[in-house]
Amino acid sequence: MTKVNLEDLVSLCKRRGFIYQGSELYGGLSGTWDWGPLGLSLKRNLTNLWWQKFVEEPDNMYGIESSILMNAKIWQASGHESTFHDPVIEDVKTKQHYRLDHLLADNKVDPKGMSLEDMANKIKELKIKSPDGNELGNPSRAGQMFKTNVGSVEDESSLTYLRPETAQGMFVNFRNIVDSYYPDIPFGIAQVGRNFRNEISPRDFIFRSREFEIMELEYFIDPSNWEADFDNLRLKMREWFEKTLGLSKENIKEVEIDKSDRAHYSDRTIDFNYKFPGREDELAGLAYRSDFDLSNHQKHSGKNLEYAEKGSNRKFLPHVIEPTFGLERHVLAVLTEYYKEDEINGEKRTYLALPANLAPVKVAVFPLLKNKPELVKYAHDVYGTLKQKVGLAMWDDNGNIGKRYRRQDEIGTPYCVTVDFQSLEDKTVTLRNRDTTEQKRMTVNEVLAELGKS
RNA sequence: GCGGGAUUCGUAUAGUGGUUCGUAUGCCAACCUUCCAAGUUGGAGAGACCGGUUCGAUUCCGGUAUCCCGCACCA
């Protein structure tokens, strides 16, 4: 198995036009990434596959797209306004920052519900020192939500945030979906969207950035049998990783999150970790959120969010199971999984063994020789036909045939079609397979059939 | 955010207080080439940014930005 290191991936992504550093021309902006044509194509293919599997295939899923700017009250109700601003305190000597609430918890004080001042006072009162044994200074909050103002006046009343998660968009539309469709429980609301978090230190290429996309599902259930629903979703997620994306079992690890690390309202949370280059970390998660979100919104909005069961008098707040998928992390996982090296005639070859439904370019077409107009002309015709039918096709007549194959290998194009002299006589072309490098001679129609299979 | 290191053509690198910043590869063009990075010729392309020292700075110094490694943070 080929071992990948992150630098090789970053270099390939930049060189071949997958992913660039954000604002690069002006020295960059930490934690932002710009997607080039191939990266975007890969990302969209991935999103489409996800949408197909989790939204279109089942018949109880409702896809939505909620706005990034939302009423600030939503972030109060969800608890983000308080918990997404981590309280920290400074060691006056080392200038290190420590989590204020964690220090208190370590000293057997429950920080829940305490204001920043209360917590700081408690530190003074108990004469708590930093882990290095130094005095602690002023408390502050490490803000994780991007603030902005809606309207022309910039004051408290116009303040809101760029959403730090997509989930609330689904919860606040729960009633809309019920009113429009009145689906039977269980049903799900799904969306793919951008999120913004002012991370302290974005790291590891696109793994942790300040602006990122999440593919997410809120599955509304009857709480009486949540374990079964949870397990079904867990299996479905495994199917997605292993069957749809073809990620190998050894690279995916399910991790049960301990009660102490779980949100207090959750009875079960699983992380799906992937073996990224140099580290194993979270790719997706599955959390049982109980009725935490709906009951909070019911309380804060004052609106009744109960679901009235059909054919009975029962009314209840559905519980929620939430599968979450980091889109950029999926791109990184897929690149990691399919980055391969082998040898052809003693020369190293780098290629992306991407499944055809993920590959940014499905097929490339070349004339065997560039300086023979009749070859070029016919190859152009073939290219035109394929492009019309397949869409994601690429033309290349640069250098020699070997170079073109290698170039396509590196961006993961599964098939290359070459027009040679025999093509002019019998209208056949060669179809070259990326992974085996084998070639088969066939007509253009047969090529289309072959492409249609994958 | 803290500590350490780094930043030179797209990529990977070399070297230098003073003439035109070298190389490989990639890229572009021409020629050549009848299937896996062949060859020839030509071409474009670089010292992150802002200051300071100096007659002169890509080189030395400071700041900023970004990246990498640790810590911390996040999930």
Residue A182 in contact with residue A212, Cβ under 8 Å? no
Find the residue closest to B26 using CA and C1' atoms. Answer: A15
Closest nucleotide over all strands to A21 (CA to C1'):
B66
Non-local CB neighbours of A50 within 8 Å, separated by 6+ positions:
A192, A215, A240, A325
Non-local CB neighbours of A207 within 8 Å, separated by 6+ positions:
A276, A281, A328, A329, A332
Q: Name A residues 326-345 whose Cβ lies under 7 Å from strand B.
A: 344-345
Looking at residue A115, its pLDDT comes to: 64
Looking at residue A166, its pLDDT comes to: 94
Looking at residue A80, its pLDDT comes to: 80
- DSSP sequence for A381-444: HHHHHHHHHHS-EEE--SS-HHHHHHHHHHHT--EEEEE-HHHHHH-EEEEEETTT--EEEEEH
Looking at residue A82, its pLDDT comes to: 67
Non-local CB neighbours of A270 within 8 Å, separated by 6+ positions:
A234, A254, A255, A256, A257, A285, A286, A287
Instruction: Give chain A's length.
Output: 454
ipTM: 0.86
Looking at residue A185, its pLDDT comes to: 94
User: Is the CB of A371 less than 7 A from some atom of nucleic acid strand B?
Assistant: yes
Looking at residue A145, its pLDDT comes to: 84
Locate tokens 């129609």: which residue?
A445
Looking at residue A86, its pLDDT comes to: 64
**Dmax (CA) of chain A:** 92
pTM summary value: 0.89
Looking at residue A120, its pLDDT comes to: 73
Nearest to A397 by CA among A434, A427, A368: A368
Looking at residue A140, its pLDDT comes to: 63
Which residues does chain A have with pLDDT short of 70? Answer: 1-3, 82-88, 90-98, 110-118, 131-134, 138-143, 454
Looking at residue A424, its pLDDT comes to: 94
Bases of strand B lying below 7 A from some protein CB: 1-3, 10-12, 26-29, 31-38, 48-49, 65-75
Locate tokens 């559905």: which residue?
A318
Closest nucleotide over all strands to A23 (CA to C1'):
B66
